[in-house]
Structure 1
Amino acid sequence: MSTLAWPPNASHDLTRELEATNARELAWLLVSLQDTLASLKAGLEECAALLAPQEPGSTLVLSSLRSESLKGYITRVGTRIVKGDIQLRLPSLPPPKGQPAYRLSVSALPTAPTIVLEQLKTARTLINACLDVVDATRWTGDAGNADFISSQIRLLHENIQEAKGALKGWSDGHKSWSDDSLDPTTFDPPLPANLSLHLSISEAAIVLHVRTVGGTDTHTGTNTPLAASSGLSFRERFTTAFTGGKPVFHDEAHQAFTFRGQEVRVRDKVRVESADPSLMAAMAKLGALERNVALSRRALHVVMGTENEDET
């Protein structure tokens, strides 16, 4: 049996009916997006709570793999590290006389600089911006204006992506360790001049890099510049040869850096990471929110007839 309409609709009537149908679909979608925005706000508030400065905070264990080079813990409250105790055993950082390791403690003095994790600060700022976008879209804008809703959802999508990226770890646009090491007076007693500590976030884990450095013009006992040697001092090389051990090399052993106004090379390097359950939960929630917003954007573009436009 034929499915053709008879008498056939005129071309202009068919166009008018299609436009009316699209208008009804768009109106329905815009109404449903209000519920979606309410759901997104609830999810964003959960993410904000996970990053909020709530006592007693998260205490994370730090321990180097397959060695005793670094042991300790740090306590995070919101975007700040408020407590920490670290013990180092590095060839180029001899401990004080009578001590088994070199101990570092985050200073409790009110005048000490605050340790702020900039990536968490960025993530919190972006999540708060997302909440502002949701409120502006729901209460102050024209809920029936498809172009306005589309631009707001795009902004929301971009902010969520950037917030998730901050918790995953950024490589571009961030300072290197040599420009962004912790202030020596953050610790009590202050860090020695040849020690660098650098904190960052990677895959919702807090990553600590510890480096000891030495000047590039330092010479070994054989008048061979340290920069061209293995990176060990004469005493360390003598100890290594005497005990039969092998020196440990790292990926920065033969690179030069500018650290606190001087050109240096890294002698010892230790990397330790500790997964933070709150950050992991926040990153997972942001990933789910990102997918939901992407689906809403796609649906709106299809109904508006702009699905082929660039969605960067």
Structure 2
Amino acid sequence: MSTLVWPAIPPEDLIREEEETQARELEWLLSSLQDTLRSLKEGLEECAELLAPKEPGSTLVLSSLRSENLKGFITRVGMRIVKGDVQLRLPSLPPPRGQNSYKLTISNLPTAPTIVLDQLTTIRTLINACLDVVDATRWTGDSTNANFISGQLKLLHDNIQEAKSALKGWTEHQKPWYEDSVDENAFNPPLPPNVSFHLSISEAAVLLNVRTLETAYPNTGTNTPLSLNAGAGGQSYSGFSLRERLATALGGSRQAFHDEAHEVFAYKGQDVRVRDKVRVESQDPSLMAAMAKLGALERNVALSRRALDVVMGEEQDEG
């Protein structure tokens, strides 16, 4: 079956018709993208609402799997942790006399440092930037300029991807625990000097890592820093029992059951090792909803970009 047009269209007329058709398609697409931008703004505003600091906040249960090493809760309001109690049962952190666990309580004193989840601050900043991009694209730019709209969609896509990555966690901009542990004075009483309390976001969940620390090179002479494990009068706060210290002095080894046992970290000006470590994740419904919405927005923007590239004749190879 022939698909030839008869009578034949002159080549120059065919080229003109194709160009006019493409121009009409581009005009229609740019017009329809205004509706897409309105929809994107609604979705971004929903994400911003999920991350907004609203009372009473989200109270998240903390519980270590298959052990009693860590139990407790924290309350998140926006980017801040405003309340929390954690009970620890770790071999290297003996509880006070008469108690069966070591309690960490987030201070509610007005002078206490604020515990801020930096990833959530980054995400909220990126979402606000996306809202600015949408408004600029709709109201201050030339909606009929395909190159301008294409550039704005790329900026929007990049910001949404970065916000989603921050919710997933472990981006290149995220500080490691030994550079970003919670200030000891954020607790009442203050955190023991040999304990690191680190909060972050991973896969839209709040991730808590508590570590007890010891000097990495305790037998190298008087130059070894002692402030991590010694208080006033030289009293040890390392949390190690007399039996453990005797066993170590006699050449016995201390067993470690975590992934950082044989690493050395520079923590607050000292080389330290991680004695005990407990890791707990607590799913946050608001963060999970925000990540799902960001994923949907990312796909919508990617589809719009692809469609515009095709009509503009700038379709790029996948990969």
Q: Does the residue aligned with 2:76 lie in a helix, a strand or coil?
A: strand
From 265, 279, 283, the equivalent of 1:271 is 279
Partner of residue 133, structure 2: 133
Aligned-residue CA RMSD in angstroms?
1.9
Partner of residue 206, structure 1: 206
Q: Is 1:252 aligned to residue 243 of structure 2?
A: no
Letter in 2 for 1:186: A
Equivalents in 2 of 1:295, 1:3: separation in Å?
32
Residue 2 of structure 1 and its aligned partner are, at CA, apart by 4.3
Equivalents in 1 of 2:122, 2:147: separation in Å?
28
Contact 2:167 2:203 in 1 (8 A): yes
Letter in 2 for 1:113: P
Contact 1:91 1:236 in 2 (8 A): no
Q: Does the residue aligned with 1:9 lie in a helix, a strand or coil?
A: coil
Residue 17 of structure 1 and its aligned partner are, at CA, apart by 0.6
Equivalents in 1 of 2:241, 2:176: separation in Å?
25
Letter in 2 for 1:258: A
Q: Taking structure 2 as the reference length, what is the TM-score of the superposition?
A: 0.88
Contact 1:107 1:186 in 2 (8 A): yes
Contact 2:62 2:281 in 1 (8 A): yes
Partner of residue 65, structure 1: 65
CA-to-partner distance for each residue in 1:187-229, whole Å, 9 max, x for gaps? 000011100001110000000000000112335xxxxxxxxxx
Q: Is 1:281 aligned to residue 265 of structure 2?
A: no
Pairing 1:91-106 to 2, within 5 Å after superposition: 91-106=91-106
Q: Is 1:23 aligned to residue 23 of structure 2?
A: yes
CA-to-partner distance for each residue in 1:45-73, whole Å, 9 max, x for gaps? 00000000010000000001111110000
* 5+ residue gaps, structure 2: 220-239, 249-253
Residue 247 of structure 1 and its aligned partner are, at CA, apart by 4.3
From 305, 310, 315, the equivalent of 1:307 is 315
Equivalents in 2 of 1:105, 1:163: separation in Å?
31
The answer to which of 173-182 and 40-49 deviates more is: 173-182
Task: Give the number of equivalent residue pairs.
Answer: 294
Residue 175 of structure 1 and its aligned partner are, at CA, apart by 1.4
The answer to which of 97-106 and 293-302 deviates more is: 97-106
Equivalents in 2 of 1:266, 1:210: separation in Å?
10
* 5+ residue gaps, structure 1: 220-231, 241-245
Letter in 1 for 2:144: G
Q: Taking structure 1 as the reference length, what is the TM-score of the superposition?
A: 0.90
